[in-house]
């Protein structure tokens, strides 16, 4: 009996122990399961953080290329699903100027290459690369080395077909510029990391790198048709006269929008590594030059607007003008008394200098500052040069600055200044964006409407009767001003064999719509110019060709049989008076009483 009880007790004890063991196992399993749940939850949270919150679409590596100009640069290795991150740029008519395409770049992990010699030989033949350089990369012992960036689809297929272990493809964006050199300085370019490094690409880098799905492309004010045409005509002239460079600008006077901006030499932003780095210098915005006689336009405006003289006035240019130890000459002296219109049309340094001295240095400096000649141009562009001018404004500075020497400004300064003088007298903001000035208030008044009208008449006389006659185009009534400036060489001396020649024109001059500037750097005169290298012989004919093509292109109807304005009419009549019945005391045909009456508005 006692044995049976003992046996029963053991069974009960064993059952109790078994249940306890099972319960403990269940608890352990729950703990282990909970641990794994926590682990997976942590991993999931991290993945969400990486993929959604921080959204790093790339990992960063360093370039280790022996012959790469970006050696040591950190670049992003993007996911194959990464969207295009850089927006488009178009011209004012919607023509595509810059866009991004997806390409593949090939890189290598040298530690995974089994036969470096064989791999280098095959890749060199396929990718047209230096086999020695490739072999050095494949034997570098590093873990990441670029082989070639931005392969064509055909190249990617062929490299992949080689089946070489250790080669990998990285999806990348390639910035493409369909017009190549034509807009190189205006658009600029991007670096290996797709960041804007110059031009519009740099100015609007952040906006271009972070476009939204519904964002519009950046629309520039430039017209690619005008840009191509202007560049073509300037390139012909540079080659014909063996010049070292050139600059050209077309401005819409009414809107302040730049329709064209050319700088030569230029470069191909699609393959900028192959170009001379000096070709990347933008002469239109970074080049500060002594502008020569085009600057006389500002002196004329200041002289008339300040009351120091009038369009009826004049100055004695019979002989060279001595100012202290300096002597001012005219390039082609008339050797007589000249009226204000004659001083401008014949481009007299003597008359212009005397006019400026009558105004005075203080007023001259204040005027040039007001019209923007003493500070960088306010425009949506990153590369801008500051003007260069004397700290101390002495009489000799007043005189030389009056005809464009002793002060250096950029071509954009000249364009904005002349536009101000012909548009009615207000200085409007320049812009490189279509409708970039929409909503802006009217610009600051610089000169009176009367002075602006007189400047337009003077510019017309230059083309009709003066140094700019080669820019005369039937039907378009062009007004303009020539400029020829000797360049300063080392030691501060002027070199008569190194000249910057220019012509700036407004048309139709009665109510200007467009302004065209062409500057040619160090042209060499030839038989066609009788050996002369001046703005009249070289730059003005280019402007004439440009305007002749612009008119039909922009739908500007020519106007024929337009009556001459009073200044033109009486210039002709008084030339006849001078030849036929000039009295002994008569100093100048332009001082005839009838002419004085005609221009006294």
The secondary structure of 347-391 as a DSSP string is T-HHHHHHHHHHH-HHHHHHHHHHTTTTS---SS-S--PPPB--S
| CA distance linking residue 562 with residue 455, whole number of Å | 19
CA distance 405 to 398: 10
Q: How many angstroms separate the CA atoms of 200 and 311, rounded? A: 43
Residue pair 496/527 in contact (Cβ under 8 Å)? The answer is no
Phi and psi at residue 95, in whole multiples of 5°?
-75, 130
In a 13 Å sphere around the CA of 433, the CA atoms on its Cβ side amount to 13
Residue recorded with tokens 């003008």: 321
Structure tokens at 458: 């003077």
Is residue 250 classed exposed, middle or buried when 0-12, 13-18 and 19+ CB atoms within 10 A define those classes?
Answer: buried
Q: Which residues pair with 108 in a beta bridge?
A: 145, 167
First-to-last alpha carbon distance for the chain, in angstroms, is 147
CA distance 396 to 380: 36
Helix (H, G, I), strand (E, B) or coil at 145: strand
- Cβ density class 334-366: b for 16+ within 10 Å, e for less: beebbbbbbbbbbbbbbbbbbbbbbbbbebbbe
Which is it for strands 89-90 and 96-108: parallel, antiparallel or unpaired?
antiparallel
Two tokens at 574? Answer: 């008084």
Residue 431 is classified by DSSP as: B
Tell me how far CA of residue 598 lies from CA of 307, 422, 510, 573, 590, in angstroms. Answer: 19, 20, 17, 12, 11
Can you tell me the distance from the alpha carbon of 486 to that of 497, in angstroms, rounded to the nearest whole number? 7
Query: Based on the number of CB atoms within 10 Å of its own CB, is 52 exposed (0-12), middle (13-18) or buried (19 or more)?
Result: exposed
Strand partners, 484: 501
Q: Report, as residue numbers or ranges, the catalytic residues.
A: 293
In angstroms, the CA 276 to CA 532 distance is 30
Q: Are 300 and 342 in contact (CB under 8 A)?
A: no
3-class DSSP assignment, residue 179: coil
Which one, of 507, 393, 413, lies nearest residue 459 by Cα? 507
| R_g of the chain, CA atoms, integer Å | 36
Give, to the nearest 10 degrees, the angle between helix 566-581 and helix 449-464. Answer: 50
């Amino acid at each position: 009996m006692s044995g049976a009880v003992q046996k029963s007790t053991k069974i009960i004890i064993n059952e109790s122990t078994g249940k306890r063991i099972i319960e403990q196992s269940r608890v352990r399993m729950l703990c282990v399961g909970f641990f794994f749940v926590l682990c997976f939850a942590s991993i999931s949270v991290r993945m969400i953080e990486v993929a959604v919150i921080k959204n790093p679409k790339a990992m960063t590596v360093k370039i280790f290329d022996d012959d790469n100009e970006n050696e040591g640069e950190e670049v992003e290795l993007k996911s194959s699903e990464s969207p295009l991150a850089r927006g488009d740029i178009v011209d004012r008519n919607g023509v595509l100027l810059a866009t991004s395409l997806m390409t593949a770049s090939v890189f290598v992990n040298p530690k995974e290459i089994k036969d470096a010699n064989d791999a280098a030989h095959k890749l060199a033949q396929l990718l047209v690369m230096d086999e020695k350089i490739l072999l050095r990369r494949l034997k570098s012992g590093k873990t990441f080395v670029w082989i070639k960036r931005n392969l064509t689809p055909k190249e990617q297929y062929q490299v992949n077909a080689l089946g070489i272990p250790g080669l990998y493809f990285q999806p990348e964006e390639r910035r493409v510029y369909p017009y190549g050199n034509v807009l190189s300085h205006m658009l600029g370019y991007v670096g290996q990391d797709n960041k804007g490094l110059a031009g519009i690409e740099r100015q609007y880098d952040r906006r271009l790198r972070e476009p939204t799905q519904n964002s519009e492309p950046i629309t520039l004010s430039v017209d690619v048709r005008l840009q191509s045409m202007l560049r073509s005509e300037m390139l012909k002239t540079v080659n014909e006269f063996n010049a070292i460079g050139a600059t050209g600008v077309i401005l819409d006077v009414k809107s302040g929008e730049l329709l064209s901006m050319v700088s030569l030499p230029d470069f191909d932003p699609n393959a900028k590594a192959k170009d001379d780095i000096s070709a990347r210098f933008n002469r239109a915005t970074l080049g500060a030059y002594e502008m020569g006689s085009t600057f006389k336009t500002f002196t004329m405006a200041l002289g008339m607007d300040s009351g120091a003289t009038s369009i009826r006035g004049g100055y004695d240019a019979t002989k060279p003008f001595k100012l202290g130890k300096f002597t001012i000459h005219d390039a082609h002296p008339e050797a007589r008394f000249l009226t204000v219109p004659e001083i401008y049309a014949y481009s007299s340094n003597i008359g212009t200098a005397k006019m400026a001295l009558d105004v005075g240095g203080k007023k001259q400096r204040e005027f040039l500052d007001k019209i923007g000649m003493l500070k960088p141009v306010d425009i949506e562009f990153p590369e801008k040069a500051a003007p260069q001018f004397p700290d101390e404004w002495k009489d000799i500075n007043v005189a030389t600055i009056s005809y464009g020497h002793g002060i250096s400004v950029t071509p954009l300064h000249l364009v904005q200044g002349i536009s101000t003088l012909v548009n009615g007298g207000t200085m409007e903001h320049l812009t490189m964006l279509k409708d970039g000035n929409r909503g802006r208030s009217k610009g600051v008044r610089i000169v009176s409407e009367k002075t602006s009208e007189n400047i337009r008449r003077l510019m017309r006389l230059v083309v009709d009767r003066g140094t700019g006659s080669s820019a005369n185009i039937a039907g378009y009534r062009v007004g303009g001003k020539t400029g020829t400036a000797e360049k300063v060489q080392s030691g501060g001396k002027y070199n008569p064999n190194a000249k910057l020649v220019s012509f700036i024109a407004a048309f139709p001059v009665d109510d200007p719509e467009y302004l065209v500037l062409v500057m040619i750097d160090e042209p060499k005169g030839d038989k066609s110019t009788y050996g002369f290298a001046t703005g009249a012989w070289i730059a003005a004919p280019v402007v004439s060709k440009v305007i002749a093509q612009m008119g039909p292109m922009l739908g500007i109807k020519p106007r024929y049989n337009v009556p001459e304005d009073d200044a033109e009419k009486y210039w002709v009549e008084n030339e006849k008076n001078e030849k036929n019945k000039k009295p002994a005391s008569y100093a100048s045909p332009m001082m005839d009483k009838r002419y004085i009456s005609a221009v006294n508005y």
